[in-house]
Chain A
Amino acid sequence: MSDTAVTAVAANRRNAPDRRVMPIAAISTSAIAFIGDFFEWFGNLGIFFWRVLRAGLTPPYECRELIRQLDEVGSKSLPLVALAGSAIGVVISLEARYSLSRFGAKSMFPATLVYSVIQVMGPIITGLVVSGRVGAGIGAELASMKVTEQIDAIEASAINPYRLLAATRILACILMLPLLTIAADACGLLTGWFAQALVEPLSFHQFVESGFKGATLNAFLPPTLKTMVYGFIIGLIACFQGMRTRGGAEGVGRAATNSVVLGSLFLMLADVVLVKFILVVFP
């Protein structure tokens, strides 16, 4: 398909030597190159995923490395995620109090806070924080292993690096993100309530009671579990960027940056689809 597009551009050049057409041709050539690169990247990502999946699903299972990664992704991200969740809780609390009192709907405060934190902000903030910390970490670690031939050394030792390095890290991200999200939610609710309680008397018990009144598991479980998809995206892209790195220290830096940038970007794009999906499936 891109072949015909390229020949079309070439034909365009031959038929119209007019100067004014040239920039358009140049732009379309670079656009085609960009689209070509993008599809190539995506294709390679698909092949990479297939390799990891096949390696991860067949024995030997690398349990020791998985546990190490669960600790690396989970426990070590916890303080950061808790902090980010707490901050968001306060922000939402302040905003909600202001807007709700303008519309005279102050009694809605607990429910507003609960729903904004658990359904919207908790998951995405956790995703972005983990993408920054873990995505960059995995990207840089694997990239530096790649450029110093350590990944080749693993392979030469008859160990499948897709199984040992990639499958474990991706699975750790998938398993840990929902748990981290719950932690962020809890911190957010706590600080949100606290910020409110400083201004107006509101016991924690009252807050929880009215915040969760009439709520079903359907309202809270899907938004939390969707973060498994975030984890998958963060882990997959970071491992992919890391393990395809070339070219020394600069390549390592690029891999770390790309892991974060692409991971966060695809995470937010996926969120658009996920939110719609959840609204349709769990009304």
Chain B
Amino acid sequence: MATAQSTSILPEELEESGREPVVAVQDIHKSFGAHKVLNGINLTVNRGETLAVLGRSGTGKSVLLRLIVGLDKPDSGSIRICGEDIAGLTIDQLGGIRKKMGFLFQHAALYDSLSVADNVAFPLLHHNKALSKSERADRVSQLLLEVGLDGNLDRMPSDISGGMQKRVGLARALALKPEILLLDEPTAGLDPISSREIDELILKLQKERQMASIVVTHDLFSAKIISNRLALLDQGNVLIEGSFEDLERSDIAFVKEFLKQ
């Protein structure tokens, strides 16, 4: 762990605790044409911490995640992953950082020409070339088991349910043992039992691997269980950030309205 005296690390990268945030989003602005989506967002996530991002539909939660993986470029502001600014990196340079990140898309985004097993094997095939075929197959079935899927590994993504696609997407995101997990609504469309299984998995990964996660969710119950901190977005900015109790104590009308379920 870097110490505060180290000259290579700027003071603002260090939290009071002396830890460097794994993800640091600073004053991000993003518009699509005249439509301003993000308006000066600041967020940080530390190792072993889970941040839940809440907000109404269309506030730019998915856009925020896409910016963090570098799939879109912000209009202004900086995004630092493990201390490295991702602005201006080429696609191949970003690759090194992206290997540390697991990304679950809101609509799973499975490769529709590949079977379920091949979808999960895809990152392994490209980045863990040393793995033998049987080792890879073992790893794939283990990953799928972790997200609660077994059997039917040769089915195509179009032949499985939306909730199952989501879990395959999660298994694929976990394939390279990422340090950072970015999940866009991991439990949307899942039954309560599967949702709790996913919550358990996120908690387990956080504890065992000290993984940092940003979880976009509309599921307040799951947000309460898995997150150390929550951030509620409104009109392109963080309206309130804190523990679930902090949010519950808030006097802001929108927060009260949002938590009233």
* In the bound complex, CA of A154 to CA of B109 (Å): 9
* In the bound complex, CA of A55 to CA of B172 (Å): 24
* In the bound complex, CA of A144 to CA of B113 (Å): 11
Could you tell me the distance in whole angstroms from the C-beta of A144 to the nearest C-beta in chain B? 8
For the residues of B in contact with A, the DSSP-based class is helix
From B17-25, B88-96, B147-155, B237-245, the one touching the partner chain is: B88-96
> In the assembled complex, which residues on chain B have CB atoms less than 8 Å from the CB atom of A153?
103, 105, 109-111, 172
Could you tell me the distance in whole angstroms from the C-beta of B167 to the nearest C-beta in chain A? 15
> In the assembled complex, which residues on chain A have CB atoms less than 8 Å from the CB atom of B105?
149, 152-153, 156
Q: A148-B109, A148-B112 are in contact. Are A156 and B71 (CB under 8 A)?
A: yes
Q: Indicate if the CB atoms of B107 and A160 lie closer than 8 Å.
A: no
Q: Indicate if the CB atoms of B69 and A156 lie closer than 8 Å.
A: yes
Q: Indicate if the CB atoms of A160 and B91 lie closer than 8 Å.
A: yes
Interface membership of B162, Cβ < 8 A: no
Could you tell me the distance in whole angstroms from the C-beta of B162 to the nearest C-beta in chain A? 13
Q: A156-B69, A156-B98, A159-B95 are in contact. Are A148 and B126 (CB under 8 A)?
A: no
Query: What 1/0 mask marks residues of chain A from 141 to 180 whose CB sits below 8 Å from any chain B CB?
Result: 0001100111011111111101000000000000000000
Could you tell me the distance in whole angstroms from the C-beta of A159 to the nearest C-beta in chain B? 5
Q: Indicate if the CB atoms of A158 and B109 lie closer than 8 Å.
A: no
> In the assembled complex, which residues on chain B have CB atoms less than 8 Å from the CB atom of A150?
109-112
Q: Nearest residue in B to A51 (C-beta to C-beta)?
A: B91
* Count of chain B residues near A, Cβ 8 A: 24
Could you tell me the distance in whole angstroms from the C-beta of A147 to the nearest C-beta in chain B? 11
Q: Which of B91, B107, B111, B172 contacts A155 (CB 8 A)?
A: B91
> In the assembled complex, which residues on chain A have CB atoms less than 8 Å from the CB atom of B48?
none
Interface membership of A58, Cβ < 8 A: yes
Q: Nearest residue in A to B169 (C-beta to C-beta)?
A: A153
Q: Indicate if the CB atoms of B98 and A157 lie closer than 8 Å.
A: yes
Could you tell me the distance in whole angstroms from the C-beta of B110 to the nearest C-beta in chain A? 8
* In the bound complex, CA of A148 to CA of B123 (Å): 18
Q: Indicate if the CB atoms of B123 and A157 lie closer than 8 Å.
A: yes
Could you tell me the distance in whole angstroms from the C-beta of A142 to the nearest C-beta in chain B? 12
Q: Indicate if the CB atoms of A158 and B112 lie closer than 8 Å.
A: no
Query: What 1/0 mask marks residues of chain A from 190 to 224 whose CB sits below 8 Å from any chain B CB?
Result: 00000000000000000000000000000000000
Q: Which of B92, B107, B112, B122 contacts A157 (CB 8 A)?
A: B122
* In the bound complex, CA of A149 to CA of B91 (Å): 17
* In the bound complex, CA of A141 to CA of B7 (Å): 50
Could you tell me the distance in whole angstroms from the C-beta of B216 to the nearest C-beta in chain A? 15
Q: Indicate if the CB atoms of A158 and B96 lie closer than 8 Å.
A: yes
Interface membership of B233, Cβ < 8 A: no
Give residues 252-281 of A contacting B (CB, 8 Å).
none
> In the assembled complex, which residues on chain A have CB atoms less than 8 Å from the CB atom of B92?
55, 58, 160
* In the bound complex, CA of A144 to CA of B110 (Å): 12
Could you tell me the distance in whole angstroms from the C-beta of B44 to the nearest C-beta in chain A? 21
Q: Nearest residue in A to B124 (C-beta to C-beta)?
A: A157
Query: What 1/0 mask marks residues of chain B from 21 to 42 whose CB sits below 8 Å from any chain A CB?
Result: 0000000000000000000000
Could you tell me the distance in whole angstroms from the C-beta of B9 to the nearest C-beta in chain A? 25
> In the assembled complex, which residues on chain B have CB atoms less than 8 Å from the CB atom of A58?
92
> In the assembled complex, which residues on chain B have CB atoms less than 8 Å from the CB atom of A159?
95, 123, 126
> In the assembled complex, which residues on chain A have CB atoms less than 8 Å from the CB atom of B94?
158
> In the assembled complex, which residues on chain A have CB atoms less than 8 Å from the CB atom of B71?
152, 155-156
* In the bound complex, CA of A157 to CA of B171 (Å): 12
Could you tell me the distance in whole angstroms from the C-beta of A91 to the nearest C-beta in chain B? 38
Interface membership of B127, Cβ < 8 A: yes
Q: Which of B103, B107, B126 contacts A156 (CB 8 A)?
A: B103
> In the assembled complex, which residues on chain B have CB atoms less than 8 Å from the CB atom of A145?
111-112
Q: A148-B112, A152-B71 are in contact. Are A158 and B95 (CB under 8 A)?
A: yes
Give residues 39-83 of B contacting A (CB, 8 Å).
66, 69, 71
Interface membership of B223, Cβ < 8 A: no
Could you pull out 13 A-B pairs where Cβ atoms are within 8 angstroms?
A: A51-B91, A148-B112, A149-B105, A150-B111, A153-B172, A156-B71, A157-B122, A157-B176, A159-B123, A160-B91, A160-B92, A160-B95, A162-B91
> 7 smallest A-B Cβ distances: which pairs?
A158-B98, A149-B109, A158-B95, A153-B109, A156-B103, A158-B99, A157-B123
B residues touching A (Cβ–Cβ < 8 Å)? 66, 69, 71, 91-92, 94-96, 98-99, 101, 103, 105, 107, 109-112, 122-123, 126-127, 172, 176
